[in-house]
Each structure stands twice: as C-alpha cells, then as structure tokens.
C-alpha cells in the first residue's frame, strides 16, 4: 500500500513539471521575437538617421604587405627615400639574388620584400619593432629575412668588393697635377670609426679617441669611390697602422702589386706599397688653396691630400647613405661587423649603377666646412706658427731600417723632387 501511494505521487509530480516546461518555452519564444523586433527597429532608425556604419572590406595582411612593397618601388622618389636607390637600381639589385640563387622567395614573402626589409633597415637604422609596423610582419619574421639577405650579400662580397688592378686610374692619368707623379697609385687607404654596441665588460677595449665605444674599420677605395678592401671589427683603441700591419701579414687580405702603391695618411707607416704624407709639413687643403707653395714637401703634401681625399668622400657618402653606421646598433657585435661589410658591398653596387649621386655634392660641402673650421682653429691656437720648414717629429712613426721602408722613402723623395722641379719650371 505504501509503495502504490508513492508511485501515484511521483506520477502527479511528473505531470506538473511537464506543464511548467511548456510555459517556459512559450516565454522564451516571445522574448526572442521581442528582441528581434527591437533590433530591426533600431537598425531601421539608425539607417534613416544616417548612423548606420557599413562593414569595411576584409583586411588581408598579405595584400597589405604587397601594397607596402608596391608603394616603395612604384616611384623613384619613394624608392630612393626609403631604400637609397631608384627603382631601376632596385630591380637590378634583386635580380642579382634571383640569378645567383642566394635568395628564395616564399608563398608569404617574395624576394622583393626580403630585400626591402634589409635596405629599409640599414638606410634609416630602424629597429625591428618599427620595420614590422611598415611590413605588417612579426618581429621574428623581420629578423629572419634581414639576416637572410645579409648572409646572401656576404656570400657574394667578392663580387661587390673587387681588388684594384695594376693599371693607372683614369682620374690620375687625366689630372696633370697627379700624372705622371702618381701613375703607380692604385687606391687610397684610411680608417674610420663606426659606433659599437658592446657589453660593459668589453667597453674599455672599444673606447678610443672618439670617447665612446667604436669599431675601427680600415678600408681602401679607388678613384671611382668604390671600396677595394675592407676589414672591420677591430676595437676602437686600435691604431690604423696596427690594423694595416695585420692586413699586410696576411697576403690574402690586401692586394699589393709590385711597383704600385696606396696613398696613405701620415698615421700609417711609410712603405714601398704605402706612400704617406710628410709629417709636420703643412698639408691641409683649406690652408693651401689660393697660396703659392713654399717648399717641395708642401707641394707634395697638397697634391697627395687632394688625391687621397677620395677616401674621405667615400666614407662620408657611405655613412650618409646608411644611417645604421652612424648610431649604436641593436645587434650582437659579430652581426655589427657583418653589417659594415654588407653596407660597403651595397655601396659599391650603387656606385656602379648610380654614379651621379646627390650625396656626393652634399658630402663635398660638409667636408669643406669641416676643413675650414679646422684651419680657423689652428690659426687661433698658433697664429704665428710656420711649420712649412719643420723637420720630422720625434713622435712620428719611425721609418725603420727595413728594405721596404727605405724603398718607400726613396719613392716618395723621387716623386717629391720631380713634382717640385716641374712646378718651379712652370711658375
């Protein structure tokens, strides 16, 4: 009896629950209809009032990236401002990698975009976070393709940086002030300092005369302003003569033709293959213009400096073109060294296809202003000093007693005498 009563109560409870569910479903349906009606009413009202905003087109990142590359290379102005080369030059540069097979495009990143990433970075010293905004790529992707293009350039560096030939340069042969005196000159050589970003433990070794960490880069260039030799990575305190000595010790690092020489600054040792200025004797170009030469050494130094000035112009154009060489870089030091070599290689390519660069005239003006300031400062510091007849300073690099040093001295004396005799005969 008790079991039967419980069964009846249970049936009544089930029937009551079922009725309640039907009522809830009806309420939900009514609420849904009311919500849909309210939404339709609001949309109609917004459309009549002009407040309705239509959905824009879908933003495809691949199309955005293609648009950026297209913007860069569609006009010479854009291409030169962002990549430091015109469109025709850019196409030729990209074709080098395509023909050599050193770069491969992918479904998501073409060779054009890879090269744009690299050139845009070194031209403006942009950080990874900035380049990824332009290209709509992740920071990892930007870093990957930057290093990939840099490695490709370094693998072909011998095609970009070509050693000098033994022939007399055209610029020397056509200049009566240089020919025949410098007929055996093949290049000019000098050093320059590039800001270096190193750890605190290494900073002391990299701080030289600039007062901040730098790497000392030794380079030679021909009279077309193309680099013929570059060695980078030396600490800022290392002298140019020490770096040159290391390069000479390795016969494969710098090309030397028998009977030919480089024009070098007074900071280098005088050798048969490296003819330097006479130390102490006046030689700054700004001090010599518009005045008669008093001694044969003064005349030699003036013409030597005029010819060797091409290396100063080349360094100036290189740094003006690639701003990454003027500031500390956010890379490991080994990568900073590679970037210097890569920039020199790209510079040589540009000199071959864009010889009439606007940067050259700009550098000419800047160097002239620097020389004028130096001359003015020297006159203020020693207005009555006349060092045109001064002898070699005791602090000057010693010529040494080697046969190479004696031969270098003989060559310089012979050039100096021939130049002076012709000058006196003409004037």
117 lies in a domain?
Answer: yes
Whether residues 66 and 186 fall in one domain: no
Whether pLDDT at 377 is above 90: no
Q: Cα separation of 221 and 297, whole Å? A: 25
In this structure, the answer to whether residues 143 and 217 fall within a common structural domain is no
Tokens of 88: 């025709």
Question: Do residues 299 and 236 share a domain?
Answer: yes
Q: What is the DSSP letter of 40?
A: H
Query: Is residue 37, in this structure, part of any structural domain at all?
Result: no
**What pLDDT score does 54 carry?**
52
Instruction: Read off the pLDDT band of 47 (50, 70, 90).
Output: low
Please check whether residue 245 lies inside any domain of the structure: yes
Tell me whether residue 81 is in a domain. yes
Do the beta carbons of residue 415 and residue 181 sit within 8 Å?
A: yes
Mean pLDDT of 41-67: 54
Has residue 22 been placed in a domain? Answer: no
Q: What is the DSSP letter of 325?
A: G
Number of domains in the chain: 2
Whether residues 101 and 226 fall in one domain: no
How far CA 250 is from CA of 46, 243, 244, in Å, comes to 80, 11, 10
Both 195 and 327 in a single domain? yes
| Residues 101 and 187 placed together within one structural domain of the fold | no
pLDDT, residue 394, reads: 34
Kindly state whether residues 201 and 344 are assigned to the same domain.
Answer: yes
Q: What is the pLDDT of residues 208-248, one digit of tens each?
A: 877 899 999 999 999 999 999 999 999 998 999 999 999 98
* The domain boundary residue, chosen from 155, 185, 214: 155
Q: Lowest mean pLDDT: which of 177-191, 216-230, 346-360, 382-396? A: 382-396
In a domain, 273, yes or no: yes
What pLDDT score does 291 carry?
67
Torsion of CA 366, 369, 370, 372, to 10 degrees: 160
131, 155, 179: which is the final residue of a domain?
155
Which domain does 104 fall in, by range?
Answer: 61-155
* Model pLDDT, residue 401: 56
Higher pLDDT, 256 or 61: 256
Closest of 366, 360, 285, 355 to residue 321, by C-alpha: 360
Residues 79 and 120 grouped into a single domain: yes
In this prediction, residue 33 has a pLDDT band, given cuts at 50, 70 and 90, of confident
Please report where in the chains the tokens 């590359």 appear, as a residue.
69
User: Do 318 and 345 form a contact (C-beta atoms < 8 A)?
Assistant: no
Q: Rounded to an integer, what distance in angstroms lies between the CA atom of residue 269 and that of residue 279?
A: 11
Last residue of a domain, one of 125, 155, 185: 155
Q: Which helix or strand (DSSP H or E) is residue 189 part of?
A: strand 185-195
132 and 255 together in one domain = no
Which pLDDT tens digit goes with each residue over 110-141?
A: 999 999 999 999 999 998 888 888 888 888 99
User: 231 with 345, same domain?
Assistant: yes
* Mean pLDDT to the nearest integer, 305-320: 93
Residues 91 and 175 in one domain: no
- Does 302 lie in the same domain as 246? yes
């Amino acid at each position: 009896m008790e079991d039967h009563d419980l069964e009846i109560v249970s049936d009544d409870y089930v029937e009551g629950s079922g009725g309640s569910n039907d009522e809830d479903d009806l309420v939900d349906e009514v609420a849904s209809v009311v919500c849909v009606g309210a939404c339709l009413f609001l949309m109609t009202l917004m459309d009549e009032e002009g407040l309705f905003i239509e959905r824009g087109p879908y933003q495809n990142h691949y199309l955005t990236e293609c648009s950026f590359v297209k913007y860069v290379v569609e006009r010479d102005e854009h291409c030169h401002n962002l990549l430091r080369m015109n469109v025709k030059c850019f196409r030729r540069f990209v074709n080098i990698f395509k023909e050599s097979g050193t770069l491969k495009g992918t479904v998501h990143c073409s060779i054009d975009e890879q090269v744009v990433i690299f050139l845009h970075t070194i031209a403006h010293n942009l950080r990874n976070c900035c380049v990824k905004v332009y290209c709509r790529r992740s920071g990892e992707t930007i870093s990957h393709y930057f290093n990939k293009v840099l490695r490709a350039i370094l693998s072909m560096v011998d095609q970009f940086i070509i050693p000098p030939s033994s022939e007399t340069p055209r610029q020397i042969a056509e200049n009566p002030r240089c020919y025949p005196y410098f007929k055996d000159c093949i290049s000019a050589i000098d050093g320059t300092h590039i800001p270096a970003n190193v750890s605190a433990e290494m900073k002391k070794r990299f701080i030289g005369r600039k007062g901040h960490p730098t790497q000392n880069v030794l380079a030679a260039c021909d009279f077309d302003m193309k680099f013929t030799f570059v060695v980078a990575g030396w600490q800022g305190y290392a002298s140019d003569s020490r770096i040159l000595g290391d390069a000479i010790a390795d016969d494969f690092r710098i090309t030397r033709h028998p009977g030919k020489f480089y024009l070098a600054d007074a900071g280098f040792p005088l050798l048969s293959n490296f003819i330097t200025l006479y130390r102490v004797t006046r030689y700054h170009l700004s001090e010599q213009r518009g005045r008669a030469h008093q001694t044969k050494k003064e005349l030699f130094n003036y013409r030597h400096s005029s010819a060797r000035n091409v290396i100063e112009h080349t360094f100036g154009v290189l740094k003006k073109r690639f701003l990454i060489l003027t500031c500390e870089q956010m890379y490991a030091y080994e990568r900073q060294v590679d970037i210097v070599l890569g920039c020199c290689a790209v510079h040589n390519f540009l000199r071959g296809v864009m010889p009439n660069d606007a940067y050259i005239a700009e550098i000419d003006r800047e160097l002239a202003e620097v020389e004028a300031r130096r001359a003015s400062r020297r006159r203020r510091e020693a207005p009555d000093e006349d060092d045109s007849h001064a002898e070699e300073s005791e602090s000057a690099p010693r010529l040494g007693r080697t046969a190479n040093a004696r031969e270098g001295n003989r060559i310089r004396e012979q050039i100096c005498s021939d130049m002076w005799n012709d000058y006196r005969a003409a004037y």
